Amino acid sequence: MSTRRGLSGGACVVALAVGFGVGPTTAQPEAPKQRPAATPWGVSSSASAFRDHAKWFPRVAEAGVTSVRLFPEWNGFESTTGKWTWTNGDSLVKSAADNKMEITAILMGSPPGAKASHAFPMDNLAGWSDYVAAVVGRYGKHVRYWEVWNEGNGGFNDGKHTTTDYAKLAVATYAAVKKAAPTARVGLSVASYDAPYLYQAVLAMAKAGKPNSFDYLCVHPYEIADGLAEPDGEVPFLWMSRLLRDALKVSAPERADAEIWITEVGHRIEKRNHHVVTESDAAKALAKIYTMAIAQGIARTQWFEARDPVGEDQGFGLLSRDGTARPSYKTLKTLTTLLGPTPAYHGWLALGKGGRGYGFVFQGKAGPVLAAWMPAGLKDATLTFPTDVETTDSVTGAVTRFTAGQPLELTDTPRLITGLPAAVVKEAKANAGKNFPWGGDYSAAKTVSCQPGSPDVNSGIAQVHRGNPSVKFADGTTGILVEGDISHPVSFYVHPSFAKLLTKEYYVRATVRRVAAGNVGMNLLYEVADSQGRSPYANTGKWGGTTKDDGWQTISWHVTDACFSKMWGNDFTLRPEQSVPFVIGKVEVSIEPFK
């Protein structure tokens, strides 16, 4: 998982001097003359950044941001029952309006007088509903979008509540919001890309007789976004919206077209152990994340975070703690400048040799724009155009002109290309309704596989965090060397065209070979269909071992409660236990028994 601090509005209550009003009917802040446009360009902020939001709001607005995810918690408004504190909320919506931005709010927190915690108020839903009605009644003219809790499936679930509990909370919230502001929108929210949790919560609503008690869905796909630093890590990211919509068609058909938002995502700048993320790396990730989000129909993306706060983790901000603009800030401004406030997606292009390169065409501010790059670690200089084009480096902002027929080198740093010939735009539009091509299409396959250490032989499975040494035996066969201890697992993801969100039954097989005497074996950890807010991975409980034979052998598992959604960036892990080192030569996943 990404190392980052989850968002909470709790610190807002100490940021400013407070003033008490009796009930929610005291003088309300003036409604904005015009609501900001609904654009994909947003930011999310930690609670600690509230104290100086008036300083950084203008900065992010200059970069083209139109929405900010930030809001005080329940006991920040009502610290004593019936005594309402509006100072912080009022200052927040005023600052947003002054900068032509919109607040997207999180409804969460402890009841008045209770010990501060992040536990769902299941024993006080009436009080919760009163709180929701009060804040929505006051700010409904300023705030249109209201999320039910923040990451209740993860670090903000002190009460260890289940998806059924979250559904009850969401149903109560939806009723209170709609009564106070009928046109307001209510969103369900999860940490990471926990699509199974959302699916189970939506089913629980229907089971309770309150189906469709939401308007949009929010995900925080930090771990999937971290995969962009690896070859073709784009594949899981590009299929997030499709998988969620397929699940909605089953769990809530009337909401199958509900908007999907990314209300937190980021790329922390850090250097620890052998893991290094530079400021340029974060900027490259930002360019890919926003463009791929728009390409798959995600309505809004809110980068975490706007500015590094005092007292919390550093390295996520578009602005450093002292206000210095990082490359990611400049990249966001370049995107909003060229693509405009509301870019329309035209379609995709598979670029370069073998179509390995990623290309997405948008209708930008002054004409069509192609966002283009190669997978991590690859370069390609075969791309040419029949007309002159202009490219902008998404990280440095450098502009280069290429004449007709001049080769343009693509790397893993996205380029924004303008002056596109009409035929290129036409080709992209023809692809718009087709599945994304990268990594293949396995929607009709029964079995997928990969040969670790030989990426060109992958057929629907990809290894995550590649780095194991390759081994070639005397007979010409190959594989990767795996250490025999539990701290050296090997993880994989299955192509989303094969691993549907609602498929629960899989057969998994590993082909292994010993390189030393002693026990050889491992366990299978796999992503489950209903984590109830706990770890999304389960152990089969079956230790798979081999004989003393030194040839290739297979170890198989059968699971019936899986959900390969890639919440933490992978679908399953082969974890060595009580084993000597060995070699993995092939990994297979099937929806029917192996013969």
Nearest partner of 431 among 349, 344, 345, judged by Cα: 349
CA atoms within 13 A on the CB side of 450: 22
Phi-psi region of 95 (alpha: psi -120 to 50; beta: other; left: phi over 0): alpha
Domain residue spans in the chain?
Answer: 41-338, 347-431, 447-590
Q: What does the pLDDT read at residue 536?
A: 85
Give the pLDDT of residue 529: 83
- At the top level of CATH, the class of 447-590 is mainly beta
The dihedral over CA atoms of 268, 273, 275, 279, expressed in degrees to the nearest 10, equals 50
Closest CA to 157 of 119, 192, 201: 119
Least confident of 161-170, 271-280, 411-420, 480-489: 271-280
**DSSP 3-state of 593:** coil
pTM, full prediction: 0.94
Q: Considering the domain 41-338 in this protein, what is its CATH number?
A: 3.20.20.80
Q: What pLDDT is attached to residue 159?
A: 81
How high is the pLDDT of residue 200? Answer: 94
Q: pLDDT-based confidence at 26, cuts 50/70/90?
A: low
Per-residue pLDDT tens over the stretch 451-466: 998 877 789 999 998 8
Residue (of 195, 126, 205) closest to 165 by Cα position: 205
Q: Considering the chain, what is the average pLDDT of its residues?
A: 92
The top-level CATH class assigned to 347-431 is: mainly beta
Across-strand partners of 77?
none
99-128 per-position pLDDT tens digit = 999 999 999 999 998 887 889 999 999 999
Question: Which pLDDT band holds residue 47 (cuts at 50, 70, 90)?
Answer: confident
Q: Kindly state the helix (H) or strand (E) to which residue 293 belongs, with its residue range.
A: helix 279-295
Is the Cβ–Cβ distance between 102 and 68 less than 8 Å? yes
Q: Is 363 exposed, middle or buried (0-12, 13-18, 19+ CB in 10 A)?
A: middle
Mean pLDDT of the region 348-360: 97
pLDDT digits (tens, 9 = 90+) for 485-517: 888 999 999 999 999 999 999 999 999 999 999
pLDDT value, residue 12: 33
The Cα 238–Cα 128 span in angstroms is 37
| Cis status of the peptide bond prior to 312, with omega within 30 of 0 | no
395-420 pLDDT tens trace: 999 999 999 999 999 999 999 999 99
- CA dist., res. 68 & res. 63, Å (int): 13
Provide the 8-state DSSP code for 122: G
Cα-to-chain-centroid distance, residue 246: 17
Please write the tens of the pLDDT for every residue from 550-562: 999 999 999 999 9
Nearby residues of 203 by Cβ (< 8 Å), 6 or more positions away: 251
* Least trusted range by pLDDT, from 24-33, 130-139, 140-149, 177-186: 24-33
